[in-house]
């Protein structure tokens, strides 16, 4: 329930934060939803965080949660898709198919399936009633937008350059969404991505230089999480930034599905085994070491990125922003996924890294050496870091929502 504190203009809201779910290794939506939920919580609002059993939703940052269904990839029976989809990712089969738009991503994950959308909207409606929700925040969740519109609630949400229907879409995949809108009496859309236009305000966790969106109702908020302090900032009087920060390693993470992990490991050993720095490769099946190359299922990036001279990754939004947060030059191997390719091109355009079309030993070695040895890559990364830090982050999202609702 909305409650005002007389004279102080403070508004206490019950906020439901709903991330996008997928039966795939995809930590970005959950981690961003966590950051936004935590910001509302710190501001004194009651937050309910939606979760699903998709393998990504772990360790909620608030005590109040609600459970939503998981979409089955391609709308297949869950018993089938829950076994075949993870195998396809591990073998790199998923990465061989080009993905041209966010609408295709939603279709592939099953998020455009009529039955899934209906079940999700009903579950969100129930959560709204149970928790007396005043405001919904959609972290790229279409059911959250639909439910909020049907209930007449203010709905805010995340947005990006590549989720614009005008950038890329496939309306033929949206028949299930259009049927649901008709069934519950809402206006029709051509593309499911048009639903983002229903948001009261759209928040872009980036900056205009990286994502030049010109629409009304857009707020560029930069980094969502607190910016890490770097060694060069603690020791600004030291002239040798690299030495003061002890940057002494290369970090490699190529995500799920883009390149088979065995090929990643083989290429990295060949390309960077004699690079002269420790190389950490995340995503491997087990922990082992080959010379200066260390493999593990996961590493603590918050410990390694402050040391990294270069970050080789797949162009995912979180990896891209994490590298910028630590001022680390990037080598991006985006594969055939539209968003990753856009991120790689944007990073290359602002001079903070380079894009590789394929993962080959000689090409990878040359690219890493180039971004490490040319100081302009580091300087551009730090410049983008400062620009993104000025966006206000998740706290700005809270302030804008408070102002709009209050």
Give CA–CA dist 309/176, Å, rounded.
46
The helix-helix angle for 338-349 and 102-109 (nearest 10°) equals 140
Judge contact between 231 and 215, C-beta under 8 A: no
Give CA–CA dist 323/310, Å, rounded.
9
Q: Encode pLDDT of 389-400 as tens digits.
A: 999 999 999 999
Give CA–CA dist 201/205, Å, rounded.
13
Of 343, 362, 361, which Cα lies nearest the Cα of 353? 343
- Specify which residues 66 forms β-bridges with: 50
Count the domains in the chain. 2
| pLDDT of amino acid 91 | 46
**Does 367 lie in the same domain as 235?**
yes
**Does 243 lie in the same domain as 164?**
no
| pLDDT of amino acid 242 | 42
**Does 40 lie in the same domain as 9?**
yes
The stretches in the chain having pLDDT less than 70 are 1-11, 75-96, 231-245, 256-257
**Does 316 lie in the same domain as 195?**
no
| pLDDT of amino acid 28 | 87
**What is this structure's pTM?**
0.89
For residue 230, what are the CA distances in angstroms to 234, 260, 328? 7, 33, 11
**Does 335 lie in the same domain as 192?**
no
| pLDDT of amino acid 241 | 46
**Does 123 lie in the same domain as 22?**
yes
CATH number of the domain to which 385 belongs: 3.40.50.2000
Give CA–CA dist 277/294, Å, rounded.
11
Give CA–CA dist 197/173, Å, rounded.
18
Give CA–CA dist 147/128, Å, rounded.
9
Judge contact between 29 and 20, C-beta under 8 A: yes
Judge contact between 123 and 361, C-beta under 8 A: no
**Does 350 lie in the same domain as 365?**
yes
**Does 9 lie in the same domain as 55?**
yes
**Does 207 lie in the same domain as 254?**
no
| pLDDT of amino acid 181 | 99
Give the domain extent around 320: 231-389
326-358 core/surface letters (b: 16 or more CB in 10 A; e: else): bbbbbbbbbbebbbbbbbbebbeebbbbbbbee
| pLDDT of amino acid 89 | 52
**Does 262 lie in the same domain as 138?**
no
**Does 215 lie in the same domain as 269?**
no
**Does 320 lie in the same domain as 204?**
no
- In terms of C-beta density within 10 A (0-12 exposed, 13-18 middle, 19 or more buried), how is residue 280 classed? buried
Give CA–CA dist 144/218, Å, rounded.
19
Structure tokens at 195: 């639903």
């Amino acid at each position: 329930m909305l409650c005002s504190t007389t004279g102080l203009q403070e508004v206490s809201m019950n906020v439901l934060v709903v991330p996008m779910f997928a039966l795939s290794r995809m930590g970005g939506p959950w981690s961003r939803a966590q950051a936004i939920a935590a910001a509302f919580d710190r501001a004194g609002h009651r937050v309910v965080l939606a979760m699903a059993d998709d393998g990504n939703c772990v360790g909620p940052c608030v005590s109040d949660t609600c459970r939503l269904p998981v979409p089955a990839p391609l709308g297949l029976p869950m018993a089938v898709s829950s076994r075949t989809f993870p195998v396809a990712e591990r073998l790199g089969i998923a990465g061989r198919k080009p993905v041209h738009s966010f609408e295709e991503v939603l279709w592939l994950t099953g998020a455009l399936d009529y039955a899934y959308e209906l079940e999700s909207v009903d579950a969100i409606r129930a959560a709204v009633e149970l928790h007396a929700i005043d405001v919904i925040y959609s972290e790229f969740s279409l059911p959250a937008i639909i439910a909020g519109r049907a209930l007449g609630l203010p709905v805010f949400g995340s947005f990006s350059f590549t989720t614009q229907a005008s950038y890329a879409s496939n309306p033929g995949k949206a028949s299930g969404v259009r049927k649901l809108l008709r069934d519950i009496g809402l206006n029709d859309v051509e593309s499911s991505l048009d639903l983002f236009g229903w948001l009261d305000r759209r928040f872009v966790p980036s900056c205009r230089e990286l994502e030049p969106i010109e629409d009304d109702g857009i707020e560029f908020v930069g980094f969502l999480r607190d910016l890490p302090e770097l060694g060069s900032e603690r020791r600004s009087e030291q002239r040798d930034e690299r030495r003061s920060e002890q940057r002494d390693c290369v970090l490699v993470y190529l995500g799920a599905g883009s390149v088979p992990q065995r090929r990643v490991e083989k290429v990295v050993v060949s390309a960077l085994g004699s690079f002269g720095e420790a190389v950490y490769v995340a995503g491997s099946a087990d922990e082992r070491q080959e010379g200066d190359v260390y493999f593990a299922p996961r590493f603590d990036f918050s410990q390694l990125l402050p040391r990294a001279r270069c970050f080789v990754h797949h162009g995912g939004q979180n990896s891209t922003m994490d590298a910028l947060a630590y001022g680390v030059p990037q080598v991006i191997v985006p594969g055939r996924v539209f968003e990753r390719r856009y991120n790689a091109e944007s990073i290359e355009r602002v001079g903070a890294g380079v894009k590789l079309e394929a993962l080959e030993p000689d090409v990878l070695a040359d690219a890493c050496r180039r971004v490490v040895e040319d100081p302009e890559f580091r300087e551009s990364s730090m410049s983008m870091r400062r620009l993104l830090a000025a966006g206000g982050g998740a706290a700005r999202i809270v302030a804008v929502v408070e102002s709009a609702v209050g």
